[in-house]
Amino acid sequence: MSVTQQAMANAIRALSMDAVERAKSGHPGLPMGAADIATVLFTKVMKYDMADPRWPDRDRFVLSAGHGSMLLYALLYLTGEKHMTIDEIRNFRQLGSLTPGHPEVHHTPGVETTTGPLGQGISTAVGMALAERMLNAEFGEIVDHHTYVLASDGDLMEGVSQEALAIAGHLKLSRMIVLHDDNDISIDGPLSVADSVDQMKRFEACGWSVERVDGHDQDAIFAALERAKASDKPSYISCKTTIGYGAPTRAGTAKSHGEPLGETEIAGARKALGWTSEPFVIPQDILDAWRAAGSRGADAHAKWRKTFDGHHQKGEFERRLAGDLPAAFGEAVLEFKRAAAVDASEIATRKASEAVIGAIAPALPELVTGSADLTGSNNTKVAATPAIAPGQFAGRFVHWGIREHGMAAAINGMSLHGGLIPSGATFLVFADYMRPALRLAALMKTRHIEVLTHDSIGLGEDGPTHQPVETLAGLRCIPNLLVFRPADRTETAECWQLAVEAKGSPSVLALTRQNLPQARKSFTEENLSARGAYELKAASGAAKVSIFATGSEVSLALEAQATLEAKGVAARVVSVPCMDLFFDQDDAYRASVIGDAPVRIAVEAGVRQGWDQLIGSDGIFIGMKSFGESGPYKKVYEHFGITAPAVVAAAEHRLG
């Protein structure tokens, strides 16, 4: 007797409720309710091969509702992912297991992205779907797959989801299919206590094809998915489900959402589902059927491999996926630095960044730039990065619209997909809109660059609403996020190079609106910014004063140093383009850069937080203690006392 699809779905339900019960922690409701959806996807629809879970042309599956992680772990075990053993299932949510509370990419093989914060998964998936289309436009038939998302009511209530689905609908990302676990339950109870949105109308208004099916009718789910795959739009399928399906008293209620069912309820669920096996035991015939599903893509994989081996761009595609950079990239950076060393003109670092992009983009075909409706201000579009358009993906620039959060999340997905190094852009102050996605990027170790301009009170007239006095400090405290603030065109090129080379870290480039003088007057092949901080200008003798600065304030530090030296006070200037990299250096290097001058002064048009690691708690800080003001930027600097004379006066006062 052949195994039924219902029995295969019940295997997911059994593993999920058993694992949550053993851990005394977790969310059994979603896996039990969405088991039929997952069974159809993984046995009849998705293109994948568990013999090679990283096959580049596999379909992607994103569990946006990451709290239902046992659904994904059960699928990985059942389909034969070699690392996901029954012992890992038994160790659900235990320290060191491959089954943490929410899925984590790079931690658990087979997980495509880290999810848990609601809304991030569906938004990240937009980037995956976009990357697939852009790479298809470049490489043709060797990139030809779909992105599937299982989303919860919570995902769709989070604001970032609106940005994401609007982007996908506008760009006509027809290879993206969202399955909504539409169970009408949230933690507080029935969804109706807080929400009455018609999701069908919402998605349709954003340019998606929409359909509603019974989420427990596997034939209906399959038919809807086949129609979605044929659509020329992204597709939304509302699957009406019962949360905690099978539980005798908790099914359809919030009680099955986020806590173990308990022994009595599990016994009742086993009876209702006709499941007679002991906890964590899957009958061999059912397991065999699942393992067969896990290998059903082997033929498609073999066919793809044959095509790929004969593809004229095989070497380039492999280089891209490996994350290796072409030799021409480093050469382009050096050539830019040579020219910068002899260019005495003043330039804003946002314009310097534009020049850097113009220099490196032809040598770095995987670089994709973009902006959240500030292209002319962020300066991220160059001749080598023409814009994509709805349904037309042969380009390298994305107009994200005024959707900073959606942009940041989608860029995470583009990076995770592989083959591209994406870059987004907006004003630095709007990093607060991006922060959840930036935090996840740092956690996931994605390589991408956010160009964040208008980085201080130096933006002037737009005033305190746009002057990000506290933003740099807030970003610097995120582990594994590299925050660069270059001082001139040379440091801008070096910071761009470091950001592109950082395989395991996302990066922020904080850039000025106002023009700055060239601080580095000579060419050096070494990337001096690579160690985070370096002595830019030495003292004439034993230093009495060390001045530390970043970005636009480096020029103020140099001016103050010249004045002090003229007065007979030996002073030195240290440029600090990246605190994160500096604090990663060894003790000896850090000590040599900090020096032993009795007076230490830091200058930055932001708050003090983070600077005490460099100057000590008794060091002098010239910066902001409040929000900014509206006015011409030089007047604003004078108003807040962030000037070269203020640095000189502070040094003289401390020296007595």
* Predicted pLDDT of residue 217: 98
Closest by Cα among 96, 40, 124, 29 to 69: 29
The length of the chain is 656
Paired strand residues for 237: 179, 211
- Residues 502 and 545 reside in one and the same domain: no
Domain count across the chain: 3
Q: At what angle do helices 29-40 and 218-229 cross, to 10 degrees?
A: 60
- Residues 506 and 535 reside in one and the same domain: no
- Residues 366 and 505 reside in one and the same domain: yes
d(CA 354, CA 352): 5
* Predicted pLDDT of residue 455: 98
- Indicate which residues carry an active-site annotation: 404
Residues 6+ apart with CB under 8 A from 327: none
* Predicted pLDDT of residue 1: 46
pTM score over 0.85: yes
pLDDT in tens, 227-243: 999 999 999 999 999 99
- Residues 53 and 158 reside in one and the same domain: yes
Q: How far is CA 609 from CA 117, 476, 602, in A?
A: 27, 9, 11
**H or E segment to which residue 147 belongs:** strand 147-151
d(CA 632, CA 651): 27
Question: Cβ–Cβ contacts within 10 Å for residue 231, how many?
Answer: 16
Would residue 526 count as lying in a domain? Answer: no
Would residue 203 count as lying in a domain? Answer: yes
Percent of the chain surpassing pLDDT 90: 99
Would residue 518 count as lying in a domain? Answer: no
Question: To 5 degrees, how large is the angle CA 231–CA 67–CA 228?
Answer: 5
Would residue 321 count as lying in a domain? Answer: no
Q: What is the number of helices (H) and of strands (E) in the chain?
A: 26, 18
**H or E segment to which residue 360 belongs:** helix 349-360
Determine the residue type at 31: P
Would residue 521 count as lying in a domain? Answer: no
Q: At what angle do helices 327-341 and 349-360 cross, to 10 degrees?
A: 140
Two tokens at 102?
């929410």
Would residue 525 count as lying in a domain? Answer: no
> Quick one: CA torsion of 164, 169, 174, 178, rounded to 10 degrees?
50
Would residue 310 count as lying in a domain? Answer: no
DSSP state of 84: -
Rounded to 5 degrees, what are φ and ψ at 462? -65, -20
pLDDT in tens, 391-419: 999 999 999 999 999 999 999 999 999 99
Would residue 449 count as lying in a domain? Answer: yes
Paired strand residues for 427: 453
- Residues 574 and 499 reside in one and the same domain: no
- Residues 505 and 538 reside in one and the same domain: no
pLDDT in tens, 88-143: 999 999 999 999 999 999 999 999 999 999 999 999 999 999 999 999 999 999 99
The residue behind tokens 């001139």 is 488
Q: Which of 270, 303, 336 is the last residue of a domain?
A: 303
- Residues 136 and 191 reside in one and the same domain: yes
Which CATH number covers residue 444? Answer: 3.40.50.970
Residue stretches of the chain with pLDDT short of 50: 1
* Predicted pLDDT of residue 2: 79
Long-range contacts of 3-9 (CB under 8 A, 24+ apart): 3/285, 3/286, 3/288, 3/289, 5/36, 5/39, 5/40, 5/43, 5/218, 6/36, 6/218, 7/286, 8/39, 8/43, 8/78, 8/286, 8/289, 8/290, 8/293, 9/35, 9/36, 9/38, 9/39, 9/218
CA-based torsion, 378, 384, 390, 394: positive or negative: negative
Give residue 378's domain range: 327-510
Q: Are 448 and 441 in contact (CB under 8 A)?
A: yes
- Residues 425 and 488 reside in one and the same domain: yes
The residue behind tokens 């969310």 is 27
Q: Which of 269, 303, 337 is the last residue of a domain?
A: 303
- Residues 488 and 573 reside in one and the same domain: no
- Residues 63 and 195 reside in one and the same domain: yes
* Predicted pLDDT of residue 56: 98
* Predicted pLDDT of residue 454: 98
Closest by Cα among 388, 457, 427, 428 to 173: 388
- Residues 397 and 261 reside in one and the same domain: no
- Residues 472 and 572 reside in one and the same domain: no
Q: Which of 303, 337, 363 is the last residue of a domain?
A: 303
Average pLDDT, the chain: 98
Which CATH number covers residue 637? Answer: 3.40.50.920
